[in-house]
Amino acid sequence: MPGATYRFGRFTLDIPRGLLLGPDGAVALRPKSFALLQLLARNPDRLLSHDEIASTVWPETTATDESIVQCVRDIRRVLGADANTLIRTLPRRGYVLVSAVPPEATADRPMLEVQPVAPVPDTAAGRALAESLTEEVMTDLIRRRAVLIAAGPDGQTRYRLYGSIRTEGDRVLIHIRLIDRDITAHIWSTRFDRHRDELAALQPSLAREIARAAEQAIAAAERRHALHGAVEAFGPWRLYQRGLWHSWRCTPADNAEARRLFQRAIEADPAFAAGHAALAMTYLYDGFIYDFAPGSDSLARAMAMANTAVRLDPEDATVRATQGMLTFVTGDIRAAWDQTSLAMAQAEDLAWARSVGGLVKLYAGYPSEGRSLLLQAQRIAPHDVHEGITVSQTVISYYYDREYKQAVMAAQAGIARYPAYPLTHRWLAAALAQLGQKQEARDALRQAQAVSRQSFLGYVRKRPSWFRLENHEHMLDGLRKAGWRAP
């Protein structure tokens, strides 16, 4: 049965046979403790609250907190020396089992070893600071779920995060580095200099910044790794990463190749939620960006894939944001905002969630609020795979606010990065015309139609469902001033 056997550290949970196998063979667990371990294993790196545990493990009765605590004690006892790295307790919130994944997935997905931050000098106070920071960083990385966290030292991990915390008088200096073992090189580092009295209050935000930057560095490294080797030999994760690289390039040909790769990824692993969401976006790009064919089945197919992704993994903020994006295109702005708000709550600094949130706010009639979210997305992840969408919508937000000079500058920067992305060209032409730069506007108008005439005509002939009437007329006004005439 796929996904019925899980490995974490030196242990394997064989659910069909009802066995927990350790280094020395089968390990005995009481039925409720085994059921709790099974629940944790099926929700890798996800915080499970007391209420969720109680309703799942004790469905027919009311479980006390002490019952749950006793089961956790049983599990910790049999895991022995591995317990502290495998089972993480978040006081008053719940429990997380670290890196409980089907064995077949471990070879394909990246794994990160987080080494304890080293105190310098090695004093009791320094160790306390170092242990606290390590715990905060580890907890934040686990919540992100983008990379598997190794349970303890592991020489086979692809990435290693390590650092030091040095106390010098009333100053605390923190150095953090990330190693990519595949190329035997450092790929990211950062440094913080804080007053000792500030550190306790700032530590959670420092940990979030470290975890976010490490996650982004690993994501970029994974896409680079996926450019090498024979695709035929790739597993679902590497196929997905190669597809993301093509999506990021923002051309019709790359979108077609990304679709082929994402399709192969979900064929190899039908439960791969992120693969379904990414595949959905390729249909959106085809039907509403590179081309414009709202009457085709592209939107229905994309919406179905996004919904499947959410069913497979409702805790993945990326797939939830993609569902919000597809719902927005159907014209249901309120539902799109609800879905995107949930994604932003699940992952506070996920660029894609903020990008979709900004887009929804923009078309709901709040361009300044939308722009704030879009600019946040660009600051969080300057090279996000969906950057083309984010940049183009930022241009539109300036145009709607009649800040035409800013719209032109943002559009020119976006076109320099993504010349084959058609939406930005149209708004550049309109903004230039509103500024009275007639020749430049005519040139931009010709280019907008040359990049994709079908996309251009699709947006000007009929108002899309998500456009407000006044905003569509505002766009047409700029294009007419640029020289466009309806055929």
Q: Is the pLDDT of residue 145 over 50?
A: yes
Q: Is the pLDDT of residue 100 over 70?
A: no
Percentage of the chain with pLDDT > 90? Answer: 58
Amino acid at 392: S
Q: Is 192 left (phi over 0), alpha (psi -120 to 50) or beta?
A: beta
Q: Where are the domains of the chain?
A: 5-102, 109-225, 229-343, 386-487
Residues comprising the chain, all counted: 487
The neighbouring-strand residues paired with 175 are 164, 191
CATH 3.40.30.10 is the classification of domain 386-487: no
Backbone phi, psi, residue 471, to 5°: -75, -35
Check residues 339 and 21 and name the one with the higher pLDDT.
339
The predicted pLDDT at position 49 comes to 87
Question: What angle do helix axes 65-79 and 31-41 make, rounded to 10 degrees?
Answer: 80
Q: Highest mean pLDDT range out of 19-33, 46-60, 375-389? A: 375-389
Smallest Cα–Cα separation from 310: which of 326, 299, 296, 298? 326
Q: What is the pLDDT of residues 410-436, one digit of tens each?
A: 999 999 999 999 999 999 999 999 999
Q: What is the pLDDT of residues 117-144, one digit of tens each?
A: 999 988 898 899 899 999 999 888 887 7
Identify the CATH assignment for 229-343 out of 3.30.70.360, 1.10.287.610, 1.10.10.10, 1.25.40.10.
Answer: 1.25.40.10
The CATH fold of domain 5-102 = Arc Repressor Mutant, subunit A (1.10.10)
This prediction's pTM = 0.77
- The model's confidence at residue 376, banded by pLDDT at 50, 70 and 90, is very high
Q: Highest mean pLDDT range out of 192-206, 223-237, 283-297, 471-485? A: 471-485
Q: What is the pLDDT of residues 306-342, one digit of tens each?
A: 999 998 888 889 999 999 999 999 999 999 999 999 9
The C-alpha atoms of residue 380 and residue 384 are separated, in whole angstroms, by 9
The C-alpha atoms of residue 417 and residue 391 are separated, in whole angstroms, by 10
Smallest Cα–Cα separation from 40: which of 1, 10, 68, 65? 68
pLDDT averaged over the chain? Answer: 89
The C-alpha atoms of residue 256 and residue 247 are separated, in whole angstroms, by 9
Check residues 167 and 153 and name the one with the higher pLDDT.
167
CATH of domain 109-225: 3.40.50.10070
- Among 4-13, 118-127, 211-220, which is the least confidently predicted range? 4-13
Q: Is the pLDDT of residue 169 over 50?
A: yes
Smallest Cα–Cα separation from 72: which of 93, 47, 97? 97
- Tell me if domain 5-102 and domain 229-343 are identical in fold: no
